[in-house]
Amino acid sequence: MSGTTFDLVATISDLLKRIEAGRKAFRDTQNVRDDFQTTCVSRDKAGQLAEKLQHKMLSSDEPERSQAQAEFDLQMAKFHRLVGESNRQWPLSKETTAFIDPFHKDVLLFLERLPLEPKWKEYRQAVEHLGIGDYGCWADPPANPALDLLEMRLKEMLDLAGGTLARRGQQQAGRAKSKNSHRNPETERSVNQVRGLYNEATREGEKPTSAEICERLDAKDIPLPDSTMWGRKCSTWREAFVKNGGAVSTWLSRAKPSPK
């Protein structure tokens, strides 16, 4: 998540996908952790029994001492074999849960990057102390509800984020509509007349330059757009083009009808 542009909806969606994938991975590798746990239990039992036999050797007389020595040797051989087995299984078991810690860190980073509006504060507080680093919440069935709660809160935040983006889009559309609705009538008339000249030239197979369009606009006494500074300062289109050629050409290109 770090080092990239923060996209709220995409980040929440990604976390939800990782929860689903993590649950499956944890479930599919349960046998690896079970085998390791079984080996560790057997190893510990073998070590405890070997310790008892050692005490028995020291406190017994013959022939019990010799018998205890033989049992101790067998038990120590078993203990060392199980130590080696558990050492081999440990990396494999650890690998099955390696995704949990990075996921937990990404959730905490996500919380830090949430919007600062009050409506997000409750979600930040509700999620930041969930024990999603506990392996038990990834089990099936879960040993604690931390991951289920996180998933529920993320879905709520996804709805909230989607609604926020939708409202922003509506607001932007509303501002654009309001801007267009308040366009000066004189400017609107100028735009329509410029488009008319371009359409007429197109029908006749012409491709007039900006300077030629300005001459035709003056010939038809079409007013300059008073929404522009050059339109307010100049008295003719030709004058405006001579003094502000780039700005006038840009305005004309925007007023020009789109090709069909």
Q: What is the pLDDT of residues 88-128, one digit of tens each?
A: 999 999 999 999 999 999 999 999 999 888 889 999 999 99
**Other C-beta atoms lying within 10 Å of the C-beta of residue 153:** 17
- What domain count does the chain have? 3
With both helix axes pointing from N to C terminus, report the angle between 8-28 and 146-181 in degrees, rounded to the nearest 10: 160
Is the Cα dihedral 152, 157, 163, 165 positive or negative?
A: negative
Question: Do residues 33 and 96 touch, judged by C-beta distance below 8 A?
Answer: yes
Average pLDDT over residues 135-151: 93
**pLDDT top residue among 167 and 148:** 148
Residue 60 has pLDDT above 80, yes or no: no
- Mean residue pLDDT of the chain comes to 84
Last residue of a domain, one of 70, 95, 120: 95
Last residue of a domain, one of 156, 182, 208: 182
Task: Tell me, yes or no, whether 74 and 40 share the same domain.
Answer: yes
CA 35 to chain centre: 36
Residue 255 has pLDDT above 80, yes or no: no
Q: How does DSSP classify residue 258?
A: P
Q: How does DSSP classify residue 87?
A: H
Quick one: pLDDT band at residue 172, thresholds 50, 70, 90? low
- Tokens 């990057």 found at: 113
Task: Tell me, yes or no, whether 36 and 74 share the same domain.
Answer: yes
Its pTM surpasses 0.75 = no
Quick one: pLDDT band at residue 63, thresholds 50, 70, 90? confident
**pLDDT top residue among 104 and 241:** 104
Task: Tell me, yes or no, whether 177 and 191 share the same domain.
Answer: no
Task: Tell me, yes or no, whether 1 and 118 share the same domain.
Answer: yes
Quick one: pLDDT band at residue 185, thresholds 50, 70, 90? low
Quick one: pLDDT band at residue 200, thresholds 50, 70, 90? confident
Residue 1 has pLDDT above 70, yes or no: no
Rg (CA), the chain: 39
Dist CA 91 CA 163 (whole Å)? 45
Q: Which domain holds residue 211?
A: 185-255
Task: Tell me, yes or no, whether 131 and 6 share the same domain.
Answer: yes
Quick one: pLDDT band at residue 87, thresholds 50, 70, 90? very high
Instruction: Evaluate whether residue 260 is within a structural domain.
Output: no
